[in-house]
Structure 1
Amino acid sequence: MRANGVPFTEIDVEHDDAERDRAVELAGGRKNIPVVVLPGGDVLVEPTNAELANALGLSVA
């Protein structure tokens, strides 16, 4: 996302129990990281670069 200039908020779930619990909840109980919440509310769990680019409407290099 940085490489494409896409603004985002990074949350360190390693040091924030409440945010870690929220990430696990958003991921349907999975503990995979990253959990990406898109502007429309869709959630991607550990997406590939291609999946993330597609969800953001970006081209993959």
Structure 2
Amino acid sequence: MASQQRNERNLGEIRQLLREAPLEESRKRELSFALHVYFKDWLYASGNIRQLYYLQGD
């Protein structure tokens, strides 16, 4: 539970940093997309992709 809370807090901080970044909206979208792709790649590589599907089912 503590790990999940820490991860949610980290995600919130990343979202806030993206919102406040001095970038054009198109660049912010590109950065957000790139982060999503790398995260998904990590999920596959680490064998944790199942958790993503479980979360989407909630």
Mark yes or no: TM-score above 0.5.
no
Q: Which has the higher helix share?
A: 2
Instruction: Decide which structure has greater strand share.
Output: 1
TM-score, normalised on structure 2?
0.29
* Structure 1 length-normalised TM: 0.28
